[in-house]
Structure 1
Amino acid sequence: MPAGKSGRGSGDMQSAIAQVKAQQDRAARRGKRSGRQKVHDVKVYAKDWIIKLVTVALVAWLILTIDGVRREYADFRAEVVEVGGQVQATVGGSSQTAASKLKLSDGDTVTTGPQSYVTLVLGDGSGIAVEPNSELSIRLLEYARSGRRDRSLLVVSGAVTSLTGPQFGAESVLNIVTPGVRATGRAGALRVSYDPQSKTSMVQCLEGTARASSPAVAPFQLGPGLSARAQGYVLNPGGALDAASKASADAALAQLRGLQEPRNPSGLTDTERSLVRLADPLLSILGIAPGGWGYDAMAAARRSAAQKGLETLRTHIAEQQQPPEVLNPWTLEELRMDDAEKRRLMSAFLGGMLDGYVKQGNEWRLEATSRGNKHTRWMATEAGVRAVE
């Protein structure tokens, strides 16, 4: 073969090889670009879905939290679920005939006539049965996001039976008082009665344990089936319940348990409560507290209210010629104050009452705890008011 043709053939082959290689390089580059595009598309797709999921989660959290805050109001109301005979209610200062679904809050009362009764249920399933010829005043219904409930009821006359609900809480406290005694219980059942004519109080522990006390007698414990009896402030153990009292108590408790069943909380309710507790620091900053909104519902405001309340009580005690030997921690009966001022002052304290009053010689001491999550303890003496560590 001539040398010229051989050279041209070799050049053509090299050119062909170069073209093939160039095509392969272009294909490889296109493949890389295609791969990068696919990765990019996957990233964009994943990012869009993550944004959507986060948005849905935030919206769901917001809705559940708002609904959880709404549900908290149930712990600040006692709902009438059963009425028999003549029953009157005073709600917000206005008197009306009690009817099913009527809601009562702090300061409201129910009064039953002869052969009449009314049953109340609270948000956690706790029930209160008010017997004939009775008057019950709701002093305080309190709920904290820690799950603690503090409740205070006053038996003005007659008798009531209470049964705590399944969601009442291990740290929660129920105080049922008469003008002469206080019955304090946690989980369990109590019956408390008061005769205003003879000033006789009776406390019966039906289930669990309870403490009975009076302004003049230190608390002592009652086990199930035991009672305490008081004439004025003179309180003594009353022994075991008789057969008739036990049978009556069992019937009342069976009725209250029947009302608890349809009110057991759902899984959604538990979820909402957990979310609200998680959001409590933010809600507190915004002034959104259980049962209220604004500065007055914030922890700082409640501590301040308790401090000012003790300062006012300190002034009233100082105005008397002699400090009282005994002071009723829930009625302030021994102080010359009008009832409206008493109610206003006591609403600043945990349980709607003082923790205690002690007088030794000419020296005296008042103790109280502020409402809210912080539960700051305060002490008042003749020298002033201070927080107790």
Structure 2
Amino acid sequence: MTGRRVPRLLPGLTGTRRVLVTAVVLTVLALGGTFLLDPFRNFQLATAAAYLCAVAGLTLLIGLSGQLSLGHAALMAAGGYGYALTSNALTDAGLDGLPRFLASLVAAVVIACLLGLLLGLAAARLRGPYLAGLTLALVIALPAITSVWSPVFRGDQGLQTAFNPVPTALERLIAVEQWQAWVAILVASVVVTALTIVRRGTLGLRMRAVRDDETAARLNGVPARSVKVAAFTVSAAAAGAGGAVLCFITQSVSPGGYTLAFSLLLVVAAIVGGLGSIGGAVIGSMVIVVLPWLLGAGTAALDVPAELEQRLSGNLAVLVFGALLIAVMLLRPDGLAGLAGAWRRRRARRGGSALPRAATTPPAAADSLDPAGVADTSGHSRTIPIER
């Protein structure tokens, strides 16, 4: 059945150019939106942007390659410690400002990439609960690692970094919290744009092939083990960037900030937003930042007894996140990002027009879009580019 296509924004652009232009437009809008927020809201926005880097990498790893990681908090911690160690060393060497930040950010991403590469090499031989157990052990071992090498990582106290003031050219225009939000938004924009390009490219197509049927992918010449390692490395790089940004915001990093509960919270954000969806990662990151604050504000407004408030502190958020996760899995398995697609389909039906191809394509086929946006349905064969 043929039908008219739904009008798109920027119809003259396709492929990578469209992704880049869209990223620039959304980034400018986000930077401008910081002028409408107070300092605390800008701090929340900066934190959500830092989480977005890790959640976007995690949703790419689970949603596209099918590898479950429960240890992305440890990868964020690797980025945070890498940023702090490099920043402190450069501060002692007399370097500050933007060069110090960029060098520390690059070091954080490189360290997280190396750790992700090691995990990826192990993940290529493991699957299911064994892979989840490996990544889980990494998070549990993080406090012990920082204690054993306490002269470097300072144990439970963690590391502190030098304060990063607003640049002189902007100090009369924006406050410190707004400057931190700007930095976090810019870094998150670069990370998310890179992940989107990967998702739409050859590597993303190979990830889907390995996820759907690893044996069939191997028979078609796809190097499944290399694809798994690459997926873990790319996801780790995104998590490392998020950890570096979080260290930049809080000016400290410690093992207490990257617990098992936080690692599971990142998984919840990816699932609630929608696995494999970059837009879903944005939604999930905002949820895990805003929802605990809303619950705390609601508890304070109800004027509950002090003993009950102490019991609810921290536990109520976990309970609500668990209930939200169950509700999403039962009612909307494709996450909150799937609501937009459902709304478009209902709108098309009400308009009496034929459904666009993207809306009528089955979920399994819609997830196999190639970089040009052409669906690779199960009824058609497709040659996957192979590097010989």
Shorter-chain TM range is under 0.3
Query: Which structure has more RCO (C-alpha within 8 Å, separation ≥ 6)?
Result: 2
More helix by share: 2
Question: Whose radius of gyration is greater, 1 or 2?
Answer: 1
TM-score (structure 1 length as normaliser): 0.24
TM-score (structure 2 length as normaliser): 0.24
